[in-house]
Chain A
Amino acid sequence: METDPQYPHPEGMETHLITLKINGKHHSINIRSWVSLLDCLRDHLDLTGTKKGCDHGQCGACTVICDGKRILSCLSLAVMKDGAEITTVEGIATENGLHPLQQAFIDHDAFQCGYCTPGQLCSALGLLSEGRASSREEVKELMSGNLCRCGANVGIIDAIMQVKSGGSDE
């Protein structure tokens, strides 16, 4: 295991060797205890699709799917995810093209600046697999952890409702 030259490990600062399966690919990473899953993805693995918004669990931009559940990568320690299977926005599309949810976001103008979009997509995929929302009101409630400062929320909910109504095999 090579040490990331960008992150030398000063004496006395122990590291932990963890393995993560990210978007189907195994990674072994030597990491300090306090590195968040978000920083691990972005700075150690160059998976910069996952965004850092507030870094305090208030905006949802860093949402990823971890062992089937949507979580906030900014409030997760990478070392506590050793062995986990993670899907980021980079892993959503298939060989055949965009995931139906991604296409639905395009169809409904569900973004403007796009910064919240990776988190919105991962969160919406989590919502669809949880199967807890049927009405539009329930979808809105269960998507409230993802803020969109451009105000594309109506389009986002429209896109999710389109997939729920049969645009996807989710």
Chain B
Amino acid sequence: MNSVTAPDSPKLTAATSGFVLAAIIVVLFNTALAWTRDAYAPLNDFMKSLTGNPWIAHCFADLILFAGLGFILTKTRAVEKTDPNRLIGALVGAVAVAALGLVLWFAVV
């Protein structure tokens, strides 16, 4: 037994880490888009012209971005070597910031 060789630290697969980063980006994008739509009427009108209701276009934007980024990041293995603990911390932080951002925006504005 070679006691010098340390076991590999646990990692996430390329698909998992790719989709976690995609989720982090989409969660923040979702709040940013909500703010922008609320503050800038022409964007809201444009999104309304696409689907009849701007919220539906917002949903499609989130879904397409999540699926697209998830598959791209999985294929390119761009996040595979990122520390998984940092990725998990970033996800929790992004959800907290995005949720609080929504509440404060609609409470104050």
Partners in one complex: no
